[in-house]
Amino acid sequence: MKLFHNRLIGKILALVLGLACAVYFGWTFSFFGFWMGEKFQGAFPEAPTTIALACGAVMFLAVIYTFFFFEYVKEDVLAYEDDKGDGSFYKALKQLKWAVLGLEVFSLLFRLFQLNFAPIGFAMVGIGMMLLWLAHLFGKTLHAQVNAPHDVEASRVMNEAGRKVWSLTRSHLSRIKDVEKLRRVAAGDLKPIDEVKDVQERERLGSETRQAQRRKEEQERRDTARKAASRHLAPRYDDPADFIEQPSSNGNKSNFR
């Protein structure tokens, strides 16, 4: 159930649905490109397909820019207007959205003309108009979801922390075996759970202390072994004559001077 109550999934769905609308608009505009390409087919044989793909790509990108990035562009344009503008830049931005809308509407009307004003053609025009409205709504909704206010994000972090606390508390409950302590928890006294957490914390700290002590002892043994190996492997520069038996002054032989 948590899969369907996930904010990230909602954002992804809004993005996918908006992209689907943009693909539909690109597809409907490609029919005009294909028709225009047939008129110029003498120039090169692949003209219909090439122009259809180009028109579809242009409409797809125009819808994405207009309906998904409009709010970000609006902030930049308004900031520029406040600094240096004369009102024409924001006016141009609004006209840009209407221009894309008009281009899609005329592409739908062209499709209706191609179908000889058949009932299915009117249905396609109606569906296209509603999808334009949906693309606008998806863009606004996704922008609001991605740019949630700081207090909303803070509240979500606090709620998430609270849920995590209760999740960990529930995991500690299984370690309580004493019936009296369970009764206290059932009555609303959560101190037995805190005691379990304290015991686990002490065990963890004790385990870390023992591990640290063992690592220290192991390091000391390695250091001792390393020093012993270094002394043993160090070259000896003593004169060999020092170890030859030589007579002493009293006539006795001595191994050393």
| pLDDT higher than threshold 70 for residue 188 | yes
Task: Count other Cβ atoms within 10 Å, centred on residue 95.
Answer: 12
Q: Reduce the DSSP state of residue 254 to 3 states and report it.
A: strand
The predicted-structure confidence for 149-184, as pLDDT tens digits, reads as follows: 888 778 878 888 888 877 877 777 777 777 777 787
Q: Which of the four pLDDT bands, split at 50, 70 and 90, describes residue 256?
A: very low
Q: What pLDDT does residue 42 have?
A: 58
The predicted-structure confidence for 18-31, as pLDDT tens digits, reads as follows: 788 888 888 888 88
The per-residue DSSP string of 202-213 comes to HHHHHHHHHHHH
Distance of CA 10 to the CA centre of its chain: 14
Average pLDDT over residues 32-45: 73
| CA dihedral (208, 214, 220, 226) positive or negative | negative
The predicted-structure confidence for 82-117, as pLDDT tens digits, reads as follows: 887 777 888 888 888 888 888 888 888 887 887 788
Q: What pLDDT does residue 257 have?
A: 45
Start-to-end Cα distance in the chain: 93
Give the list of residues 6+ apart from residue 74 with CB closer than 8 angstroms, or none: 90, 93
Q: Would you kindly state where each structural domain of the chain is located, as residue ranges?
A: 2-147, 150-227
Q: What pLDDT does residue 41 have?
A: 62
Q: What pLDDT does residue 18 have?
A: 78
Distance of CA 212 to the CA centre of its chain: 37
Alpha-helix residue ranges (DSSP H) falling in the chain: 7-39, 47-68, 70-83, 88-114, 119-146, 150-173, 179-186, 191-233
